[in-house]
Structure 1
Amino acid sequence: MIRLTDLSSYADAQQHASMDALWALFDGDRTKLNIAHECITRHADGSGRAAVRIAHSDGTDEILSFDQIHAGAARFAHWLDSEGIKPGERIAFMLEPSLAFYVCLFGAMQTGAISVPMFTLFGPDALRLRVGDCTPAMLVTNAEKADMARSIVNEDGKPAVIVADDTFLASIAHFPATYTPRTRADDLAVFQYTSGTTRELPEAVKHTHKALVTLMFAALYGTGIRPGDEFFCPSSPAWGHGLWHGTLAPLGLGVTTGTFAGRFDPVRLMQALDDFGITNMSAAATHYRMMKNTGKGDDYTFHFQKLSYTGEPIDPATLDWIDSHFKTPACSMYGTTEIGVVLVNYPGAQDFHVKPGSLGKAIPGQRLEVQRPDGSMSAPREIGELMLWRRGQWETTKDRAKIDADGYFYHCGRADDVIISAGWTMSAVEIENTMLKHDNVLECAVIGAPDEKRGQVVKAFVIANVAGSDALTRELQDFTRKKLAQHEFPRIVEFVSELPKTPAGKVNRKVLRDREAARLADETPEQTL
């Protein structure tokens, strides 16, 4: 059988990609499989080859080998056994990328315990909600977060809080440096929480060990990973993109990956991309936009051959900056934590034309349509609901989209990001992308604000590189109206210093809508009976 990692063209993907071909990339089979073995153990050959490069926000670099992680993970697995941890119990991790993080993550997976990544910037309320949901036996964290972690321990003393520092790693060094996992392919391996607000509990998506195999569709055709790539993903491994696409996918193919630890700094990221000679990067749209806004892209040398992004569309101005500085098209890949990646742009495929702003086409074997409310297929360029064929029926993605005459899909916002004003239906994403073309707009978020006369009006929250003013408001309104339509412009512009974002880096329009509704309620006089 032809190995999929030896092929890179779009035509080959359509002809050869199959589940059997994906399984052939691994040691395990449909009965027995372990993520830690596939990602770490089988690549630990004693050579000291790099597995993970970490760019720390303080300017230091850390390089971890497959051999280091393999030995440490085995010792942690033996330690968990000695502590009485059973297969199926949850182990939560609240750690920045580090030797301790990878040792504990893969060590837990080897034993059959379920790894639960937690975002390091969670406050006590957000952490308590998730811990209360997944009820872990242990919460592994660092010294800085230990007191907060202990504050949520319940009356039964659960979870046990473990500080995974150098002292802890030294304390388990006497355990054997090898471990034989006994997990089945269908055993649960990871609970992944989506990036909701801290006041709401996002649903935990439960992944089995065999999810690593299905993931390879996204790896091969969404990020274009192939052996020999120098890969980097700055997204936190607490989220789906950073864990699955940035960590497990490359390591599963024996590819050295890179990541960012600490408070994100776009200049520090560009320095790391230059220093590490990164040829393939997958990042959030926000990462690219922040690099552009520094104005320092010319200070570094880039070596890219493949680029991808996810999370939300990239505005045209940022796409232009990517083309001029990285000399490589940025390829969108679309999916969610719940459904996985389903639309890609096949980075590295010379026979696939990347259309700027497009979500691309379906991964091999997937079927998607843009549909009207009655279930009929939308015409080319007609906005409708993006639907995925799964389990013998159409399932909604809760996103709006359109498709062009060549079969490329385009994102038109979440279903609740549509603005209806005086009978006109408008896309928040389209208005945002237009405003971001203005020279004075650094970031922008658009919502529908309640309006007594029109039902809703477009309100834009703008981070500008000059002081906000009535004159700039009128300029932005005229700029948008001329580029879109006479009715498609922000009737209200509010200049802000920052925008609320989800922990995964996406602009959180729901927070803006909730704030606007609360403001309106405060301003509305109470009616007397």
Structure 2
Amino acid sequence: MSGLTDYTSYGDAQAHASSAALWELFDGDREHLNIAHECVTRHADGLGRAAVRIAHADGSDEILSFDTISTGAARFAHWLDAEGVQPGERIAFMLEPSLAFYVCLFGAMQTGAISVPLFTLFGPDALRLRVGDCEPSILITNAEKADLARSIVVDGSHGEKWPRVVVADDAFLASLADLPTTYTPKTRANDMAVFQYTSGTTRELPEAVRHSHRTLVTLMFAALYGTGIRPGDEFFCPSSPAWGHGLWHGTLAPLAMGVTTGTFAGRFDPVRLMKALDDFGITNMSAAATHYRMMKNSGKAAEFAFHFEKLSFTGEPIDPATLEWIDSWFKVPACSMYGTTEIGVVLVNYPGAADFKVKPGSLGKAVPGQKLEVHRADGSICDPGEIGELMLWRGGGWMTTKDRARTDEDGTFYHCGRADDVIISAGWTMSAVEIENTMLRHDNVMECGVIGVPDEQRGQVVKAFVVANRAGDDALVRELQDFTRERLAQHEFPRIVEFVEELPKNPAGKVHRKMLRDREAAKAAPAAA
């Protein structure tokens, strides 16, 4: 009998995808399942097959096998047992992709402890807030971040320092060498495996999303139909595994299928990424929209050869100019997959499905088993082409995604911005995303963020923050205003343009419009006073 990984068409996905079929992909069952076993141990066959390829920012490559990770994870699990770590305790780690990262991630989950990945660029406030929230008994990091980690340590109720900071360097890994190289997992399917923090500003702590081991099973719908992963792919995801996309779609999903995955370590460089894509012969990549945009802006694509068969992206829509660049250089469509860390991936474009038409700029259609609609404010269903709120059927009722959307006659979904990114000026309703996408088509606009700012006459006016590749003078302001107005509508253009060196982004690489709005509000407050 064929399994889900043998099917690639959209029609087959609708006909064969089911919860029972998903479980057939795993060794575990609804009672007993362990992510580390499914992703690493069962693929460690002594043949040295590559599990993870790491492209380091310094130009070096590192290739880790299933065997190496499995052995290290088992030793680390035994070390945790010897240290008295109990199931349910949180083990936090702030590490770039490396042998230590994967050893800690999977070793902790084998013991029944909960892995908490933390972004390596967190400052002291952000780190302190998250550590204070999840209360890990151990915080593992590298030598570079050790002082930062120790700066947030507090005194425990019994005189101990908390959390205990461990530097996972070569000496630490070597100290585990005498421990057993196999480990029997202690978990049930519903036991917690990962606490994951969503991206947000330092002083606005997003709640940790709690994932059980069985989350890996439901994740595979997104892997099969959102990124199109199948055995035989050469896969790569440059997103940090500290965030949902990089961990679940870039790391756990491909490894669970025995697929070699790739990732990026260190300060992101689009040219270094393209070299890795060429060197590794990558056929399937899933990245953030900003990764594609930065590759386009580098102007260096002609220096490399690309081998893509499937592409996907998440985080935010890709602007039309970047989509056109992808079509030109990569020769396959970039497929959006839409979702959040909280709800998972729910809309996809089925990469690799020959019978599915990828419509530029669309979110695609629902993952098998999911139901979504676009609603008016009164709860009724919007007509095709009508913009409303994107709603997801979950737990016997409709829940809001806090995004605006529309559908076409074919039932394909399109993103129309966050609910709080709508700008209403003199009675006109405008989309920040639509204005940004238009401005990004201008040859001198490298990045753009659009918000509404207060105006006595119009209520709000559009303000654009622009990173440009030429001097930001009055002539360029008028040029950008005319460029936008001619392509959208006479009222739909930025009445205010501010040129900036860079735009605030959240750790996932998305332009942080809320931070732009907060900055504008802070500047306006003294004037109002």
TM-score range, shorter chain: over 0.9
Deviations along 1:493-522, one digit per CA (max 9) or x if unpaired, are 011110000011111001100000111112
Please report how far the alpha carbon of residue 424 of structure 1 lies from its aligned counterpart in structure 2 after TM superposition.
1.1
Q: Which residue of 2 aligns with 1:175?
A: 179
Q: Which residue of 2 aligns with 1:470?
A: 474
1:218 to 193, 215, 222: 222
Partner amino acid, structure 2, of 1:456 = Q
1:360 aligns to what SS in structure 2? strand
1:395 aligns to what SS in structure 2? strand
Deviations along 1:30-51, one digit per CA (max 9) or x if unpaired, are 0000000000000000000000
Q: Which residue of 1 aligns with 2:440?
A: 436
User: Within the alignment, does 1:120 sit opposite 2:124 as a pair?
Assistant: no
Gaps in structure 2 of 5+ consecutive residues? none
Counterpart mapping for 1:285-434 below 5 A: 285-434=289-438
How many corresponding residue pairs?
525
1:523 to 508, 511, 527: 527
1:143 aligns to what SS in structure 2? coil
Partner amino acid, structure 2, of 1:42 = R
- Find the aligned partners of 1:328 and 1:32 in 2 and give their Cα distance: 40
CA contact (8 A) 1:226 1:255 kept: yes
2:173 aligns to what SS in structure 1? helix
1:318 aligns to what SS in structure 2? helix
Partner amino acid, structure 2, of 1:391 = G
- Find the aligned partners of 1:381 and 1:118 in 2 and give their Cα distance: 41
Deviations along 1:28-73, one digit per CA (max 9) or x if unpaired, are 0000000000000000000000000000000000000000000000
User: Within the alignment, does 1:232 sit opposite 2:218 as a pair?
Assistant: no
Please report how far the alpha carbon of residue 200 of structure 1 lies from its aligned counterpart in structure 2 after TM superposition.
1.1
- Find the aligned partners of 1:401 and 1:28 in 2 and give their Cα distance: 38
- Find the aligned partners of 2:144 and 2:290 in 1 and give their Cα distance: 27
Q: Percent identity?
A: 81
Q: Which residue of 2 aligns with 1:198?
A: 202
Partner amino acid, structure 2, of 1:13 = A
Deviations along 1:202-228, one digit per CA (max 9) or x if unpaired, are 110000000000000000000000000
- Find the aligned partners of 1:284 and 1:256 in 2 and give their Cα distance: 20
- Find the aligned partners of 2:454 and 2:91 in 1 and give their Cα distance: 44
User: Within the alignment, does 1:446 sit opposite 2:450 as a pair?
Assistant: yes
User: Within the alignment, does 1:262 sit opposite 2:266 as a pair?
Assistant: yes
Q: Which residue of 2 aligns with 1:45?
A: 45
Q: Which residue of 2 aligns with 1:68?
A: 68
Gaps in structure 1 of 5+ consecutive residues? none
Partner amino acid, structure 2, of 1:59 = G
Q: Which residue of 2 aligns with 1:154?
A: 154
2:275 to 271, 287, 294: 271
RMSD: 0.6
- Find the aligned partners of 2:168 and 2:226 in 1 and give their Cα distance: 34
Q: Which residue of 1 aligns with 2:98?
A: 98
Partner amino acid, structure 2, of 1:87 = P
Please report how far the alpha carbon of residue 482 of structure 1 lies from its aligned counterpart in structure 2 after TM superposition.
1.1
Please report how far the alpha carbon of residue 160 of structure 1 lies from its aligned counterpart in structure 2 after TM superposition.
0.5
Please report how far the alpha carbon of residue 523 of structure 1 lies from its aligned counterpart in structure 2 after TM superposition.
2.3
CA contact (8 A) 1:450 1:517 kept: no
Please report how far the alpha carbon of residue 451 of structure 1 lies from its aligned counterpart in structure 2 after TM superposition.
1.2
Partner amino acid, structure 2, of 1:349 = A
Partner amino acid, structure 1, of 2:52 = V
- Find the aligned partners of 2:526 and 2:386 in 1 and give their Cα distance: 39
TM-score by length of 1: 0.99
Deviations along 1:70-100, one digit per CA (max 9) or x if unpaired, are 0000000000000000000000010000000
CA contact (8 A) 1:36 1:107 kept: yes
User: Within the alignment, does 1:16 sit opposite 2:20 as a pair?
Assistant: no
- Find the aligned partners of 1:136 and 1:440 in 2 and give their Cα distance: 47
- Find the aligned partners of 1:173 and 1:413 in 2 and give their Cα distance: 52
Please report how far the alpha carbon of residue 388 of structure 1 lies from its aligned counterpart in structure 2 after TM superposition.
0.1
Moved more, 416-425 or 131-140: 416-425
Partner amino acid, structure 2, of 1:14 = Q
CA contact (8 A) 1:462 1:494 kept: yes
- Find the aligned partners of 2:186 and 2:43 in 1 and give their Cα distance: 18
2:145 aligns to what SS in structure 1? helix
Partner amino acid, structure 2, of 1:475 = E
User: Within the alignment, does 1:207 sit opposite 2:211 as a pair?
Assistant: yes
- Find the aligned partners of 1:415 and 1:48 in 2 and give their Cα distance: 49
Please report how far the alpha carbon of residue 2 of structure 1 lies from its aligned counterpart in structure 2 after TM superposition.
2.6
Q: Which residue of 2 aligns with 1:82?
A: 82
Partner amino acid, structure 1, of 2:329 = H
- Find the aligned partners of 1:519 and 1:171 in 2 and give their Cα distance: 54
- Find the aligned partners of 1:207 and 1:452 in 2 and give their Cα distance: 47
Moved more, 410-419 or 280-289: 410-419
Partner amino acid, structure 1, of 2:459 = G
* Deviation beyond 4 Å, 4+ runs, structure 1: none
Please report how far the alpha carbon of residue 340 of structure 1 lies from its aligned counterpart in structure 2 after TM superposition.
0.1
